[in-house]
Amino acid sequence: MTIKENLNEIKSQLPEHVSLVAVSKTKPISDLMEAYNAGQRIFGENKIQEMVDKWGTMPKDIQWHMIGHVQRNKVKYMAEFVNLIHGVDSFKLLKEIDKQAKKYNRAIDCLLQIKIAKEDSKFGISAEDAKMIISSDEFSELENIKIVGLMGMATFTDDMQQVESEFKYLKSAFTDLSKLNSENCELQTVSMGMSGDYQLAIDCGSNMIRVGSSIFGARNYN
């Protein structure tokens, strides 16, 4: 199957309220252009430098999502153009994003990454920490960021019941935290679901899925 066929296949199964982030990390521009020419406009990358390089060469109507772990000292490289940062996991990072966005006179949309997996390796904060952040006075002073939702990654396991309970937990945290809406926090997006589990994620309330290998094929990290 070609990239275009893969994309069309996935899109034909998606309810209208679910947006598709095409995760293009490690893939060459030619692959991304194939997806672009098939109509895809949202691309997700997990390394800032790689995203900056691709942004520099590709058409300007693409929305670039940073889906990986973000180091504070690299925020400045993407502040001009990044459309959504999925992996925000501290107030310090939010403050840096706010500071860099101000230089471009814009507000950057962010998702708080909630740790829903059992594994230690997954980044993220607890729903309680998220609540503390968005209800703090310091947070309300940030004018150049906006929290628009939550992101989560389920445990890497074949146990679909485990995955389902983690997705349901993220959705319930979303419902809970939505009550705290403010000027710079308006939760709309639940980013969960990847190639192996996006159907389940949608059933559990996801409205943004991040799909890589089912579109572009397996990744080669060499």
Interatomic CA distance for residues 150 and 68, integer angstroms = 14
User: Do 164 and 197 form a contact (C-beta atoms < 8 A)?
Assistant: no
Binding track, positions 138-177, relative to ligand PLP; x by CB under 6 A: ---------------x------------------------
Question: Which residues between 61 and 100 bind ligand PLP (CB under 6 A)?
Answer: 67-68
Closer of 149 and 212 to ligand PLP (Cβ)? 212
Q: Contact region for ligand PLP (CB under 6 A) — 127-135, 137-145, 181-189, 194-202? A: 194-202
- Residue from 3, 20, 23, 97 binding ligand PLP (CB under 6 A): 23
Where does this chain touch ligand PLP (CB under 6 A) — which range of 47-55, 128-136, 173-181, 204-212?
A: 204-212
Distance of CA 157 to the CA centre of its chain: 21
Q: Toward ligand PLP, which CB reaches closer, 134 or 153? A: 153
Q: How far is CA 5 from the centre of its chain?
A: 24
Non-local (6+) Cβ contacts of 1 within 8 A are: 9
**Can you tell me which residue has the tokens 């997990």?**
46
When the beta carbons of 171 and 210 are compared against ligand PLP, the nearer one is 210
User: Which residue, 213, 160, 207, is CA-closest to 188?
Assistant: 207
Minimum gap (Å) between residue 173 Cβ and ligand PLP: 18
d(CA 117, CA 213) in angstroms, rounded, equals 21
Question: Of the listed pieces 91-99, 139-147, 200-208, 210-218, which binds ligand PLP according to CB under 6 A?
Answer: 210-218
Q: Which of 47, 85, 43 is nearest to 64 (CA)?
A: 43
CA 219, 25, 187, 185 torsion-angle sign: positive
Select 86 or 171, whichever has its Cβ closest to ligand PLP.
86
Site of interaction with ligand PLP (CB under 6 A): 23, 25, 46, 67-68, 153, 194-196, 210-214
